[in-house]
Chains A and B, each alone.
Chain A
């Protein structure tokens, strides 16, 4: 430490490294102590488990991180390795570290720095455990699991199932959604009452009434104390995060030296064994969809082009200008369409949590969403989705009719009420 301080030419950052590391360790959830960081630079084995655990917390999905008790160190190690690998972590050494979590603290330190450098890791971790004080309703979209992959190994080795099992599961799913909808309706009714009973109580005039969390705090002093504690510790972490931002430069300079002290990697001789390829992967599914779309477009466009060419004779000179204008308009239209998916879609993507406020809508000004507008947008979305589902079902019907029609001597009676 003395050595670091004596290093000149680092402007005001001299001696700031311990503070920077202290700020970092305070911001991280259950962050390892600054001592661990120092030991990790020298690749001390005792620093490794804490860093594995830290990376596990940072990389595991938000829901899992809070809910269950953390799994054994070996499982944590495996998950960290695979998560880093899938994100494109460039160093091979990590994958070769032993699974008992006893070594590799320097590599883990590098991995942590790599994650910090790539994106707003600290902010994400803070946001995960953020204390929400308002009431909200779920408007988040269903995130389909991106890649089916091999089934989770924790499940018992499933044998082949009968299709009736699938039908049963689908039925169960339908009922669960029905229950969800009724429960949600009940909750909304209760929230409406609660909000109207506490009108005018909030110190913030913009909010006007209390939320469930705030009323709970009043009803149950013990719970209220805990909420206050959580808020206070979150404030401490936020202050540490802001402190980190001011001081992080010296950390990066330090990490350069850590990287420099690593032995240079030999070129990798062995590749990691790859798991057996899964079934139709994500790319396959998308490929199929795109190809069928392409086929349909071709089928629709070609005859129209032929018909157009056939009628094309006898256009006056003014047609040329109209033609160019149309071409431009179509070009812009399609460009806008392309932007729509490249930039991640519709503007009001409600991943952002919304605090419910009951207010007579005539009296509302200023920023904020109005339920009526959102309802309209959702209704449009709903009808689009229903149409899409209907189209998929029709396609299946046609396909099945084709396959079954080849079978002679059978009559297929479709169910009524379509």
Chain B
């Protein structure tokens, strides 16, 4: 078992990292859901909600529990013919109206979306599409009993008749009414709208465009530099106010806030990594001539001097932290981090445009972005783990096999990213 403080710290760090991933995953899944829905066929919002894609009820739905009697079937035939006649009348208005009719019927009937067997669906779709081009043929197609729409209608009508005979006669009327809905001229024909086929017909509503342009105009105004004199007097007033706040309080401290210490520590950390990078570049390069040799030498010495300055600054910070009450470190640690993050970025930037030319390009960019974030996180975790685990191994307790197990685990975590393990063999002297 690891010591308590060490356990808590490391578990907390790892849990943070896991939470960060979980949040990203949530956001991604949300976006995925929305995008997938957009790419599927859209459900028409105004007409009764239905999946116009081939999802008609199949035959096996209605008959088995309650096979319609022959008389029922005859009535259905009559009804079907009446509907077809209505459709024929309507076809003169427009082909869209006819599709409405088909849609209306199906939507009135479909109580639950069921997966249709492919052939009826496909021919139904085909039926509709050909009906687009050749109305008479379309009507004829709708009467084909074995395939296509009537098959959908029959069980649906059968459904209704099950509910009550009286209702059956009233049933066609809603669908006729549906047929009388004037075909909408907008490209949002509520029938089989897919982004793929009709995406280029979309147009943003005027109300939205006005509001959106006003929005971007206001943001631009907010981020533009203000007129000088109002800004000056206001900022003078602000500085005076801050000064007064400081002097009227009884605060004895040097004014170094915890957040500022943290920010400086971050800068020093960054300095360290940049300097280390430069050092390694210098060390790995072979000097070609004396001048380059001298250059490398001076660079190394210069870096050494800067490191000493940084260490000095760090000492000052540590003294400041120890010497005065900076206030409790708290659960607000993420709070501080976010504030400092916000402090670095200008909040009123308008979004920049990022041009990409192909999905593959976008994919590789996005994956790279994630990999960079992952590596950042891994490096941070590596440092934290090193700081806590290496001393444990050095302390060599508990001695014996538990220590060996610890060594092995630590090696795997720190040196192999937790992916591979080494083996420890006891070297028995051969007698």
Flag the segment in B57-65, B106-114, B274-282 that touches A.
B274-282
Total interface residues on B, CB under 8 Å, equals 211
Within 8 A of B (CB), among A270-289: 271-275, 278-280, 282-289
Within 8 A of B (CB), among A288-329: 288-291, 293-294, 296-298, 300-301, 304-305, 308, 322-323, 326-327, 329
Q: How far is the CA of A134 from the CA of B251 in the complex (A)?
A: 47
15 contacts between A and B (CB under 8 A): A59-B332, A93-B249, A142-B373, A201-B202, A222-B45, A224-B208, A252-B238, A293-B276, A300-B279, A334-B302, A378-B368, A392-B379, A412-B422, A415-B422, A418-B416
Q: Give the residue of B7, B29, B255, B407 whose beta carbon is less than 8 angstroms from that of A400.
A: B407
A185 interface hit (Cβ, 8 Å): yes
B122 interface hit (Cβ, 8 Å): no
Q: Give the residue of A344, A352, A411 whose beta carbon is less than 8 angstroms from that of B424.
A: A411
Given A117-B241, A192-B359, A146–B307 Cβ distance below 8 Å? no
Within 8 A of A (CB), among B33-80: 34-39, 42, 45
Q: How far is the CA of A91 from the CA of B363 in the complex (A)?
A: 51
Interface string of A121-162 (1 = CB under 8 A from B): 001101100111110111111111111111111110011111
A235 interface hit (Cβ, 8 Å): yes
Flag the segment in B94-102, B125-133, B161-169, B311-319 that touches A.
B311-319
Pairs A-B, 8 closest by C-beta atoms: A88-B257, A192-B359, A85-B327, A197-B199, A127-B347, A415-B420, A368-B353, A252-B237
Q: Are B25 and A139 in contact (CB under 8 A)?
A: no
Interface string of B262-291 (1 = CB under 8 A from A): 100111111111111111100100000001
Q: How far is the CA of A210 from the CA of B317 in the complex (A)?
A: 51
A214 to chain B, nearest CB (A): 6
B89 interface hit (Cβ, 8 Å): no
**Chain B residues with Cβ under 8 A from A30's Cβ?**
none
B117 interface hit (Cβ, 8 Å): no
**Chain A residues with Cβ under 8 A from B383's Cβ?**
285, 289, 392
Given A79-B332, A216-B38, A371–B25 Cβ distance below 8 Å? no
**Chain B residues with Cβ under 8 A from A14's Cβ?**
none
Flag the segment in A31-39, A41-49, A98-106, A236-244 that touches B.
A236-244
**Which of B11, B37, B343 has the most chain A CB atoms inside 10 A of its CB?**
B11
**Chain A residues with Cβ under 8 A from B426's Cβ?**
409-411
Q: How far is the CA of A62 from the CA of B338 in the complex (A)?
A: 7
Q: Which residue of A lies closest to B37 (CB)?
A: A219
Q: Are A379 and B368 in contact (CB under 8 A)?
A: yes
Q: Give the residue of B20, B23, B299, B364 whose beta carbon is less than 8 angstroms from that of A375.
A: B364
Q: How far is the CA of A227 from the CA of B211 in the complex (A)?
A: 10
Q: Give the residue of A202, A354, A382 whose beta carbon is less than 8 angstroms from that of B371.
A: A382
A262 to chain B, nearest CB (A): 7
A253 interface hit (Cβ, 8 Å): yes
Q: How far is the CA of A200 from the CA of B226 in the complex (A)?
A: 36
Q: How far is the CA of A157 from the CA of B69 in the complex (A)?
A: 71
Q: Are A203 and B209 in contact (CB under 8 A)?
A: yes
B225 to chain A, nearest CB (A): 11
The number of chain A residues touching the other chain, given as a range, is 35 or more
B411 to chain A, nearest CB (A): 5
Q: How far is the CA of A333 from the CA of B299 in the complex (A)?
A: 9
Q: Which residue of B lies closest to A94 (CB)?
A: B249
Q: How far is the CA of A27 from the CA of B238 in the complex (A)?
A: 19
Q: Give the residue of A173, A210, A410 whose beta carbon is less than 8 angstroms from that of B202.
A: A210
Q: How far is the CA of A142 from the CA of B373 in the complex (A)?
A: 5
B93 interface hit (Cβ, 8 Å): no
Q: Are A370 and B355 in contact (CB under 8 A)?
A: yes
**Chain A residues with Cβ under 8 A from B252's Cβ?**
267-268
B256 interface hit (Cβ, 8 Å): yes
Q: Give the residue of A59, A95, A282 whose beta carbon is less than 8 angstroms from that of B339.
A: A59
Q: Are B23 and A86 in contact (CB under 8 A)?
A: no
**Chain B residues with Cβ under 8 A from A1's Cβ?**
none
Q: Which residue of A lies closest to B299 (CB)?
A: A330
Q: Are B294 and A145 in contact (CB under 8 A)?
A: no
**Chain B residues with Cβ under 8 A from A117's Cβ?**
238-239, 241-242
Q: Are B294 and A200 in contact (CB under 8 A)?
A: no
